[in-house]
Amino acid sequence: MPQTFDPAALAPSVEAILRDAGRIALDYFRPGRTAAAEVTQKACGSPVSEADLRIDAFLRDSLPALAPGCGWLSEETVDNPERLDRDPVFIVDPIDGTRGFVSGDPCFAICIALVSQGRPVLGLVHAPALDQFFLAVRGGGATCNGAKISVSTRETVSGAQLAAPEGLIADLTRSGLSFTARPRLPSLAMRLLRVADGDLDGALARHNACDWDIAAADLILHEAGGVLTDFEGRTPIYNRADTKHPALAAGPPDLQRELIAAARRGKRPV
């Protein structure tokens, strides 16, 4: 990556922009109540709020100037295939967990990753309603609100605290292992970060998570000592033509491997 795109040098400026984006989100957020934002449905059926679009526009106006010539990929911006020829690329989710945000759930997040050669080198996730700010630079560890974080020391699924969609929890239950299923958070990024900070031992995500859902949290989890792969053990690659990913598993290395094995063992035959 060119010297001008040193991720550690960019981190403070990106953090300042992300905190401003968090303040925009809080202009609309109403704890326990419907957000003060107009909500429409995208073609895929998922909701998009006025806040999503305003934050997307703000980030699109602010971030590229930090790394001239970089690419851009955001959930709320029409995709431009020119990004495939750019390096690095900003990958952004203006609000991860829009449904929760709209209904007054504080567990939503704004995610920014800087990706080079298919992998994140800078990851920031801000959950403004929870007053949490996660940050990682490749090779530099991971922090939440400035304090170092690390994954759980648990090595096996038995007795673990896990979060996953209902169908994947059912697969794990059929595997015969005993664990505690925690409520699935509305933000996938925050589900992964609860593994990164040790609050959860592991987590699963169903197929079709997109680059913007996971890129920033992937790096933070990795720098906290965790692993995120698909069920074949493949590390996610970002900024491809297809932004979707297969089902994913997150956790400390040994537990993560057992988690995949358990999910496979308990899966119903098609």
Give 119-154 pLDDT, tens digit per residue. 999 999 999 999 999 999 999 999 999 999 999 999
pLDDT at position 43, please? 79
**Average of pLDDT values for 249-267?**
96
Among positive and negative, which fits the CA dihedral 228, 202, 200, 26?
Answer: positive
Nearest residue to 74 via CA among 66, 143, 61 = 61
Q: Are strands 89-96 and 71-74 parallel, antiparallel or unpaired?
A: parallel
pLDDT at position 198, please? 98
Please determine, for residue 2, whether its predicted confidence score (pLDDT) is greater than 90.
no
Cβ partners under 8 Å of residue 45, min gap 6: none
153, 252 Cβ separation under 8 angstroms: yes
Please determine, for residue 88, whether its predicted confidence score (pLDDT) is greater than 50.
yes
pLDDT tens-place string over residues 21-52: 999 999 999 999 999 999 998 878 789 999 99
pLDDT, averaged across the chain: 95
Q: H-type helices in 70-165, by residue range?
A: 98-103
Q: How confident is the model at residue 269 (pLDDT cuts 50, 70, 90)?
A: confident
